[in-house]
């Protein structure tokens, strides 16, 4: 451009360049394989249960139990800390189910 400053504002008379990006096919591998499985009718039905089965557990542990990050370092220590949080989560579930059974 003769005057590069003219392209630095909305009213400038700079050139406009556009690129056409073709849609890429997913590369063969685990991601493509999983996308194919999820896009089937059976895969959609199975994956739809994820929100009701898995996600609330992590949300409860992160939000209610305040586990935003592990306080220990090392794989074994982190694993033991995670198991402790899981035990606390399961004890809470047992307490709630106990309340339901007594009423």
What ranges in the chain are assigned the alpha helix state H? 30-38, 41-48, 50-53, 55-59, 75-102
Across the chain, what does the average pLDDT equal?
76
With vertex at residue 78, the alpha carbon angle to CA 66 and CA 72, rounded to the nearest 5 degrees, is: 75
The predicted model scores a pTM of 0.42
Q: What is the pLDDT of residues 50-89, one digit of tens each?
A: 766 667 777 778 777 777 777 888 999 989 988 888 888 8
pLDDT confidence tier of residue 34, bands split at 50, 70 and 90: confident
Sorted by where each begins, the domain ranges of the chain are: 27-68, 69-103
Which of 25-29, 30-34, 44-48, 57-61 comes out lowest in average pLDDT? 25-29
> Radius of gyration of the chain from Cα atoms?
26
Confidence at residue 79, expressed as pLDDT on a 0 to 100 scale: 92
């Amino acid at each position: 451009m003769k005057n590069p400053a003219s392209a630095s504002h909305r009213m400038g008379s700079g050139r406009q360049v556009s690129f056409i990006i073709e849609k890429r096919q997913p590369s063969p591998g685990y991601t493509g394989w999983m996308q194919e499985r999820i896009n089937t009718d059976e895969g959609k039905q199975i994956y739809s249960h994820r929100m009701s089965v898995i996600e609330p557990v992590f949300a409860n542990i992160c939000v209610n139990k305040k586990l935003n990050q592990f306080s220990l370092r090392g794989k074994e220590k982190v694993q033991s800390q995670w198991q402790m949080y899981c035990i606390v989560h399961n004890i809470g579930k047992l307490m709630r189910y106990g309340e339901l059974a007594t009423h």
